[in-house]
Structure 1
Amino acid sequence: MNYEIDQQKLSEQIILTARKTAVVSGLYILLVFIIVFVLYAIGLFLLFDSPKEFFRLSNPVLVEELLVSKATEIMLLNMGVSMLMHYFLSGIYGIIKKGLVLPYSDISNAFKSIFSKQGLKVLNVIVLVQMVSTGFSYLLDLAGFSLVGFGISLLLQFLTYFAIPAIYIANSGVRKSIQKSISLVNQKPGFLIFFISVTYFLSLIGILFLGIGIILTLPLNYIVAYSLYIHISEQID
């Protein structure tokens, strides 16, 4: 499963994909953020015995007490919301996939993707990775090694970088997609760490520009992952 990266060809693929799908993908990301924010607010609200307590969160003392008394509930809420966010955001691959073969791709393609059989496989991958990651982080945090737990979480995310594209593009199963992702990452870990880190940095820069900057740059992570997987698949499949 050896492969080489043709940087010029990959750059052309990324630019082409961004031109066709960046705006729609960016708008979809904003929609997902709104949905996740509402769900998280509802989740926090349900942690309180009364609405009055919820609206007293402006008091820093009460926030600290909440973090201590409801640490487990908050951890589970964060894990659940994180799973939903990653699941909904994976729909961007549906926008990209259709956008490259059709004249126009809209937000509906994202929802069609996540609510398909492939979407259910993606959900299984996300749940598995998040549960393992959260479990390790929680146990290591209790032992006083929170930074180690954070590092393991990043490593799991890195090793499964290609798992979701493998499902949406190659229709791989859950186990095969994870195995394939780990194999591809292990081929060129140094290059991929640098490349993915730069991608995340450029993606987050858009937040500083607000408005159109957010819409155009936030989808970059997904566009690059999709383009990278296509570029590699042409050599190994």
Structure 2
Amino acid sequence: MNYEIDQLKLSEQIITIAKKASFVTGLYILLTFIILFVLYFFGMLFLFDFPKDLTKFTNPTFVEELLAANPIQLIILNGCISIMGHFLLSGIYGMLHNNTNVPYISLGSAYKAIFSIKGLKVLNIIIVVQAITTTVSYFLDTLGFGLVGLGISILIQFLTYFTYAAIYVHNLSLGKSVSLSIALINYKPGFLFLFIAIAYFLSLSGIIFFGIGIILTLPLNYIVAYCLYQHITEQLTD
């Protein structure tokens, strides 16, 4: 599996798509955050049996005691919210791909993407990856090796970086999408890790602007991943 990264061409692709897609993807991310907040809020209320006095949640000591008394339930809740978040945000890849040749990007195309066969494939991968990383991190953390668990989680996320794009763009099966992602990463691991890390930190730079700026910068992370996958796979099919 041979490919080269033409940084000038890739940069042009990223800029072109970013100009057309940043606002709509940012709006979609904002809606996703609102949905996740509501789900997490009601999940916490359900976890703590819908307490009548919600003002107690402003007391840090009270919250710490509740969390300490329900560690497994909290891990399950966080895992479910994480799965839902990754699933909803994966629709950005479908949005970008389905609107490649049109002047305007449709917000609804993201929801059409996730509620499709491709979206179901992506959901299965998200569940498997989340289950593996959560389980490994939990047991290693209980043994006092929390940093090792974090490192393994980052490695798994890195190796499966292209799986969502592989499914939404080429409709690959679960196994083939994971295999392709690992093969692409392994060919240039150092360069890709540095490139992805820079894109990731740039996408989070919006936090500086009172937090809300992240809605404008976070789409960069998905646009870069999509363009990078397209840039590489175009060479493999030539």
TM bucket normalised to smaller:
over 0.9
For 1:94-133, what aligned pairs fall within 5 Å after superposition?
94-133=94-133
Q: What corresponds to 1:13 in structure 2?
A: 13
Identity of aligned residues (%): 57
Q: CA RMSD in A?
A: 1.4
1:121 to 1:4, Cα distance in 2 relative to 1, 3 A: same
In 1: Cα distance, 2:212 partner to 2:47 partner:
36
Indicate the SS of the match to 2:56.
coil
Instruction: Write the deviation string for residues 77-102 of structure 1: whole angstroms up to 9, x where unpaired.
Output: 00000000000001111221133211
In 1: Cα distance, 2:64 partner to 2:23 partner:
40
Indicate the SS of the match to 2:137.
helix
1:27 to 1:68, Cα distance in 2 relative to 1, 3 A: same
For 1:121-160, what aligned pairs fall within 5 Å after superposition?
121-160=121-160
The runs of 5 or more residues in structure 2 that have no matched partner are none
Shift of 1:119: 0.3
Structure 1-normalised TM-score? 0.96
Task: Using the TM superposition, name which of 198-207 and 212-221 deviates more.
Answer: 212-221
In 1: Cα distance, 2:198 partner to 2:131 partner:
27
Shift of 1:54: 4.5
CA contact (8 A) 2:94 2:169 kept: no
The alignment covers a number of residue pairs equal to 237
Shift of 1:60: 1.7
In 2: Cα distance, 1:76 partner to 1:50 partner:
18
CA contact (8 A) 1:21 1:99 kept: no
1:50 to 1:99, Cα distance in 2 relative to 1, 3 A: closer
For 1:165-184, what aligned pairs fall within 5 Å after superposition?
165-184=165-184
In 1: Cα distance, 2:142 partner to 2:10 partner:
43
Shift of 1:53: 5.4
Instruction: Write the deviation string for residues 107-127 of structure 1: whole angstroms up to 9, x where unpaired.
Output: 100000000100000001101
For 1:58-69, what aligned pairs fall within 5 Å after superposition?
58-69=58-69
In 2: Cα distance, 1:50 partner to 1:84 partner:
22
Shift of 1:29: 0.2
Q: Which amino acid is the alignment partner of residue 29 of structure 1?
A: I
Q: Which amino acid is the alignment partner of residue 165 of structure 2?
A: P
The runs of 5 or more residues in structure 1 that have no matched partner are none
